[in-house]
Structure 1
Amino acid sequence: KDAFPEATRSFRERIAKGEALGGVLPEAFALAREAASRVLGERPYDVQIMGSVALHSGKIVEMKTGEGKTLMCVAAAYLNSLTGKGVHIVTVNDYLAERDAGWMKPVYSYLGVSVGVIVAGLDNEARRKAYGCDITYGTNNEFGFDYLRDNMQIDVAEKTQRGFSYCIVDEIDSILIDEARTPLIISGAGEDDTQRYYEVDKYAELLDEAEKNPKTHDYPDEAQGETIVGDYKLDEKSRRVSFTDAGMLKIESILLKHKLIEGSLFDEGNFEFVHYFTQAVRAHTLYKNDVDYVVKDGEVQIVDEFTGRILEGRRYGDGLHQAIEAKEHIRIAERNRTLATITFQNFFRMYGKLSGMTGTAETESVEFDKIYGLEVSVIPTNMPVIRVDENDEVYLNEKDKWDAICAEIAAAHGKGQPLLVGTVSIEKSEHLSALLTKRGIRHEVLNAKNHAREALIIAEAGAKGAVTIATNMAGRGTDIKLGGNPEFRARTRAGTEAEPEQY
């Protein structure tokens, strides 16, 4: 056992003397493979070693779900940690960061390499210690916010991060493509204009959407001399609102009638009401409760469109969040002023070497190459794929579709087959839940409203006869074991039996 840390020290000395990482790769990978075999009883397959080589080369590895990406990245992380500059392994949520770090830490420790985890709620000292480790696991949000906080420090000694040498991004398509333009923002208190949001919200529904051409379903083209009837136009794809000339005049008359302005809407100090009306109309027409956000404990909480999870502590910018709070008739929080911001796209470009892994990357290979200069490497499965991917079924109306889904679920459930049903929103998941309840089919619902039970629900999703409804990609990266998870079940039962009875 002592020979493993000794070998690690020997590798570090060779690299410090100028030997390239490639020269150490065969021995380091063999050592990591043997350590995993001894500690976890899992010897990485050849395809996993291939994946690790691709990661070390700064490529994106596409491996099918269940092929073992968590174990696959260990060899690449170990090899790159030998430089002493630190390796960051990025996951999509805190649960996965803690799970992966805890799961692989015994292997790294056996090799003589230290592991840290960055999750929400850590103080500066704990973060500095985690970043000081050879390998640091954490979420994209935590790494990004720590970078922003470090750049706001007055004293260099207060910084937590020590540089950006090598990074492995798990679910890289979700983080670098889907969320690439999502800005991370640190804000401070701004001006208090909460009353204006309440005032404007009362009158937002007096404005009418412009009429569309019934044949083309598009708005009339003013450049072609067509007349627009209505107050505003919506761009649902980019979620924007633009007012027509008639709409601007209507806003002005509403504000004058209710004595909210004096003079013209276009006078200095009055025109900002257009911004308040824009956000109010967006809140009422483009952002829906239980789809884009949930109202919980008197707060508007954003639902991540990619994972179906609640984005804790996140708020829509530019006054949109306040407009939604006014729409939902709850207390409006004061508007904040941006102090520091960065997008994921710009943040991850700072790394000297960037790599990643996912089950779906080839379809976005052009974007990865164009934006990040990253090549996608598709790794074959260890055994031939026997899963059958059926064709899509299309129905004339939604009722027929729901009936067919319920019939399919009932048939599979009757045979004892576990089922996982994906839905696009909380609203749809709750509708399906109600339909299954009517049919007497027991099931679990996993969405942003009960994400705290995520691990428990997902752990049992593979049990005989289990039916799990999941919003979008909630549960992404968690293990679903056929037959359920006996260890998880035993722990839960032991915990329940230890609790005092409630009367």
Structure 2
Amino acid sequence: MFGTLAKSLFGSANDRYVKSAQKIVDSINALEPQLEDFSDQELAAQTQKFRNQLAEGRTLDDIMPEAFATVREASKRVLGMRHFDVQMIGGIVLHRGEIAEMRTGEGKTLVATLATYLNAIEGKGVHVVTVNDYLARRDAEQMGRIHKFLGLTIGVIVPNMQEFARREAYGCDITYGTNNEFGFDYLRDNMKHERSQQVHRPFNFAVVDEVDSILIDEARTPLIISGPTDDKSDLYLALDEVVKNLEKEYYEVDEKAKSVSLTEDGVEEIERRLIEAGLVTSDNLYDVENTQVVHHLDQALRAVVMFKRDIDYIVKDDKVVIIDEFTGRMMDGRRWSNGLHQAVEAKEGVKIEPENQTMASITFQNYFRMYPKLSGMTGTAATEASEFWDIYKLNVVEIPTNLPVQRIDEDDEFYKNTQDKFLNIAKAIKEKNLIGQPVLVGTVSIEKSELLSRFLDAEGVKHAVLNARFHEQEAHIVAQAGRLGAVTIATNMAGRGTDIQLGGNVEFRTEDELSGVEEGPERDAAIARIKQDVAAERQQVLAAGGLFVLGTERHESRRIDNQLRGRSGRQGDPGLSRFYLCLEDDLLRIFGPDTLFSKMMNSNLADGEAIGSKWLSKAIETAQKKVEARNYEVRKQVVEYDNVMNDQRKVVYEQRSEIMDSATVDDVVIDMRRETVNNLVGTACPPESYPEQWDIAGLKDRVQDVLALDVPIENWLEEDSVDPELIEERLQALADQAMADKMGEADHEIWRQVEKSILLDRLDHHWKEHLATLDALRQVVFLRAYAQKQPINEYKHEAFGLFENMLEHIREDVTRVLMTSQLRIAAPPPPLELPELPDFLTGHIDPFFGSDDSDGTSRPTGSEAILGSLAASPAATAGPGGAEGADPYRELNLNRNAPCPCGSGNKYKHCHGAAV
């Protein structure tokens, strides 16, 4: 009660924040008359003036008012758009590293120009992160005009760019791109063998557009770069046959977790079927030797029971294509992990592609937390404010609208079943269509869009169905959804970033209707006619009540519903929103409270009859909050597990950077050799043991294998004073001498490059294997909960031990390769060229459920060189020698796409490696 009284007297914390920012806006406005008198050259010279002021010791906050005023004036001259005062407040929020929540239509894209310009003046680089490639290109082109006018450079990152073009784009003052492209470039950078081949600069400042979509919705799934593994198509097909006809009494379904588990009878039935199919030999399904079969059996069961065609995926061109659960978009090229995609392919009888092995991964949470300053903007963030703060330490500030909101949000209408609901939706749309009021219909899936389309066809209503298949196409369709009598059906979030203007969008109409008309009087006259048509049509739409937003179902997240509602009522326009629900909706069926069901069913609601009440809306909101809390726990769990890997990732990536930046790695190699010798002796001669307990034969074999030394250790034992320390000292001396002799026979520069290449290659190889091991551990560690242990704590403990083992293996492996290799001088080498990067797949995979929330399409990276290659100088060839005509470079384990070390200029696989 006291809090309510205080709020009424002093305003909320958000109100006070906005009020304090208004003082800065007043100082910005005071500079406007002065800057209006500047010539274009004088205005553009402001950038160098600001840079000089920063060099003299002033801060970005000091120059912010004048910098913002400069951007506003440049925008007026270049785009004909003047920033509103509330947009200035949004720019202040972004510059301070916070999230600006601004309603749809308030011009978030223009707001970003303020903070990006100010922070780009330092020359450290600013990243603007968008939700798709189309928006990245569009914003870079449109908003980039302001920045170019002021003397800044603009880059854009899109798929399939050459490495030099990416490096150039990242070197610009402001770089636009998608979250996936930025993240994958970071992972690829940390797989490269030369610092000069990396594309990223040190992280500085990022502005994330649609920050809720990128940092919340897509953050449940990490980015993954992977490569192919062995083909197991026969196993997938055989298991699909086993589970396809399994009766329902043999398994239990949990729709909330989207999982399926066998009952006790089901386990016995499956064991019988697997034995008959010859897939297992023992009569216990959970014997160790059956681990792989059990894993793929679980995935086959999920594929058959839980994953529905045209809801979770579609089959297109004989391929299974994932459908994004949030956007309804087809995710061409994206694949579920852990064999799930292969199980769905077996179910649908299409070609089964091999599984992929993780080579590098990172979550969006840990990627974006690397930016020293991070900010974002969206129309809907307040409902997730606590998560933004807990995970990213980002504060959410609600920016007031430029004009009061006049949209009317009606209570939900509730029906008994889907049939009744869609019948009434179609009638409501027809009523609005007859008076010319445009209608935007939001659905939750392609299936529901097509169902509603059939109902509208029956009513004779002309409409457009948009399933968010192509970003640019969807933008053009959604942009015209405010025209007189338009009816547009769109999956939730389709066309995000596109403004719906009543009467139509002049820019998009011009682009659509005048694409073939060249500049000149004819085009100018046509544009004037379009503007006149749009203005007249706008008045008709306003008279009809503005845009009517109709939701066919409540989404799991209130935020997604608010995004849909926010399409209407732009910039003070009138509008209307209403949601239609029924008992068969997934949200109510799976997550709704039992009391809601019982009350509704007991009310004897007649067929076709609707009810609506604030109590009902409140109950639905409660169900949404429950789902939001559950989804937050899933995302939080992803972060907790990735934090463990992230600590290790930092160590490995920092070590790689140090190696790449070092002129020589002699000291690292020497330390590794000494650690390896220490480990060999310590294993064979444990502390506080007697000489007769030592494994001398095993030690000799290991020394021969790892150090390539044949030493008479048994003779040393005849000495009275021999102990493990003395054995270790002698082995160290012999190993150091053998390496010194080898280095004396080789060119020092060549040997240093060989050492660095081998060190990076072995580090990458073992890190990849370590990631695969951690993936497997994460899949099974939850079973520790049955022993009353915290899975995350068990994971941390196990992962630390595995990391220590990995480091030990790296030390031994590097020592073995260097000690056993032999160097011979070949012909003078041509300039060193880095081998090509093998074709890897980029994915965005849910580690717990196997789902993939990526946006865009998968693509092979096909760039520079890295993983799997020693990248040694062509003048250095390793190996024990061999007969004439044999491959003398076999022992180097060269990447088959690397240049052949012989200096021929051909790839290794087309030269000496042709016979391998």
TM-score when scaled to structure 2? 0.51
Contact 1:4-1:112 within 8 A present in 2 as well: no
The aligned counterpart of 2:805 is none
Q: Does 1:75 align with 2:114?
A: yes
The worse-fitting range, judged by mean Cα deviation, of 361-370 and 309-318 is: 309-318
1:266-312 superposed Cα distances (whole Å, 9 cap, x missing partner): 44432321111111111122222221222212211112222222223
The 1-side partners of 2:162 and 2:437 are apart by 46
The 2-side partners of 1:488 and 1:187 are apart by 39
The 1-side partners of 2:516 and 2:45 are apart by 45
Q: Does 1:419 align with 2:439?
A: yes
Q: Does 1:123 align with 2:162?
A: yes
SS at match of 1:22: helix
The 2-side partners of 1:59 and 1:206 are apart by 54
The 2-side partners of 1:15 and 1:44 are apart by 25
Contact 2:468-2:495 within 8 A present in 1 as well: no
Q: Does 1:394 align with 2:414?
A: yes
Highest Rg: 1 or 2?
2
The 1-side partners of 2:120 and 2:170 are apart by 12
The worse-fitting range, judged by mean Cα deviation, of 429-438 and 310-319 is: 310-319
Question: Alignment identity in percent?
Answer: 55
1:362-389 superposed Cα distances (whole Å, 9 cap, x missing partner): 1111111111111111110011111111
1:139-161 superposed Cα distances (whole Å, 9 cap, x missing partner): 11111111111111111111111
The aligned counterpart of 1:327 is 347
Q: Does 1:187 align with 2:226?
A: yes
Q: 1:38 aligns with which of 71, 77, 90?
A: 77
Q: 1:345 aligns with which of 351, 357, 365?
A: 365
The 1-side partners of 2:257 and 2:105 are apart by 35
1:417-436 superposed Cα distances (whole Å, 9 cap, x missing partner): 11110000000000111111
- Alignment RMSD, CA only? 1.7
The aligned counterpart of 2:204 is 165
Q: Does 1:368 align with 2:407?
A: no
The aligned counterpart of 2:452 is 432
Higher helix share: 2
The aligned counterpart of 1:465 is 485
* Equivalent position amino acid for 1:296 in 2: K
The 2-side partners of 1:281 and 1:496 are apart by 54
The alpha carbon displacement at 1:488 in A equals: 2.9
The aligned counterpart of 2:53 is 14
The 1-side partners of 2:319 and 2:472 are apart by 17
The alpha carbon displacement at 1:243 in A equals: 2.6
1:381-403 superposed Cα distances (whole Å, 9 cap, x missing partner): 01111111111111112111111
Q: 2:214 aligns with which of 141, 153, 175?
A: 175
Contact 2:229-2:356 within 8 A present in 1 as well: yes
The aligned counterpart of 2:427 is 407
The alpha carbon displacement at 1:130 in A equals: 0.9
Contact 1:307-1:476 within 8 A present in 2 as well: no
The aligned counterpart of 1:246 is 265
* Equivalent position amino acid for 2:215 in 1: L
The alpha carbon displacement at 1:340 in A equals: 0.7
The 1-side partners of 2:516 and 2:266 are apart by 61
SS at match of 2:223: strand
The alpha carbon displacement at 1:187 in A equals: 0.6
Contact 2:468-2:474 within 8 A present in 1 as well: no
The aligned counterpart of 1:58 is 97
SS at match of 2:413: coil
1:415-459 superposed Cα distances (whole Å, 9 cap, x missing partner): 111111000000000011111112221111110456663133123
Q: Does 1:233 align with 2:271?
A: no
Q: Which has the higher contact order (CA 8 A, sep 6+)?
A: 1
The worse-fitting range, judged by mean Cα deviation, of 400-409 and 281-290 is: 281-290
The 2-side partners of 1:191 and 1:6 are apart by 60
The aligned counterpart of 1:356 is 376
The aligned counterpart of 1:27 is 66
Structure 1: 5+ residue runs without aligned partners? 210-229, 499-503
1:192-236 superposed Cα distances (whole Å, 9 cap, x missing partner): 111111111112133344xxxxxxxxxxxxxxxxxxxx4333332
The 1-side partners of 2:268 and 2:471 are apart by 46
SS at match of 1:2: helix
- Pick closer, same or farther for the CA change 1:345–1:318 going to 2, 3 Å: same
- Pick closer, same or farther for the CA change 1:450–1:21 going to 2, 3 Å: closer
Q: Does 1:105 align with 2:105?
A: no
* Equivalent position amino acid for 1:28 in 2: A
The 2-side partners of 1:129 and 1:446 are apart by 36
The aligned counterpart of 1:142 is 181
1:292-345 superposed Cα distances (whole Å, 9 cap, x missing partner): 222212211112222222223211111111111111110011111111111111
The aligned counterpart of 1:212 is none
The 2-side partners of 1:52 and 1:415 are apart by 40
- Pick closer, same or farther for the CA change 1:396–1:368 going to 2, 3 Å: same
SS at match of 2:109: helix
Contact 1:181-1:345 within 8 A present in 2 as well: no
The aligned counterpart of 2:681 is none
The 2-side partners of 1:486 and 1:24 are apart by 36
- Pick closer, same or farther for the CA change 1:16–1:305 going to 2, 3 Å: farther
- Pick closer, same or farther for the CA change 1:197–1:476 going to 2, 3 Å: same
SS at match of 1:270: helix
SS at match of 1:168: strand
The 1-side partners of 2:269 and 2:197 are apart by 53
The alpha carbon displacement at 1:358 in A equals: 0.6
* Equivalent position amino acid for 1:315 in 2: R
The alpha carbon displacement at 1:485 in A equals: 2.7
The 1-side partners of 2:202 and 2:251 are apart by 48
The worse-fitting range, judged by mean Cα deviation, of 289-298 and 110-119 is: 289-298
Contact 1:116-1:129 within 8 A present in 2 as well: yes
SS at match of 1:300: strand
Contact 1:417-1:464 within 8 A present in 2 as well: yes
The 1-side partners of 2:308 and 2:113 are apart by 42
The alpha carbon displacement at 1:237 in A equals: 2.2
SS at match of 2:415: coil
The 1-side partners of 2:87 and 2:160 are apart by 34
Contact 1:186-1:341 within 8 A present in 2 as well: yes
Contact 2:134-2:471 within 8 A present in 1 as well: no
1:52-105 superposed Cα distances (whole Å, 9 cap, x missing partner): 001111111011110010001111110011111111111111111111111101
The aligned counterpart of 1:85 is 124
Contact 1:426-1:448 within 8 A present in 2 as well: no
1:346-365 superposed Cα distances (whole Å, 9 cap, x missing partner): 11111100110111111111
SS at match of 2:156: strand
The alpha carbon displacement at 1:490 in A equals: 4.0
Contact 1:309-1:451 within 8 A present in 2 as well: no
Q: Does 1:133 align with 2:153?
A: no
Structure 2: 5+ residue runs without aligned partners? 1-39, 519-916
The worse-fitting range, judged by mean Cα deviation, of 58-67 and 280-289 is: 280-289
- Pick closer, same or farther for the CA change 1:452–1:166 going to 2, 3 Å: closer
- Pick closer, same or farther for the CA change 1:497–1:328 going to 2, 3 Å: farther
The worse-fitting range, judged by mean Cα deviation, of 197-206 and 107-116 is: 197-206
Contact 1:92-1:171 within 8 A present in 2 as well: yes
SS at match of 2:409: coil
Q: Does 1:49 align with 2:99?
A: no
Q: Does 1:304 align with 2:343?
A: no
* Equivalent position amino acid for 2:156 in 1: V
The aligned counterpart of 1:501 is none
Q: Does 1:482 align with 2:482?
A: no
TM-score when scaled to structure 1? 0.92
Contact 1:303-1:448 within 8 A present in 2 as well: no
Tell me how many residue pairs correspond in the alignment.
478
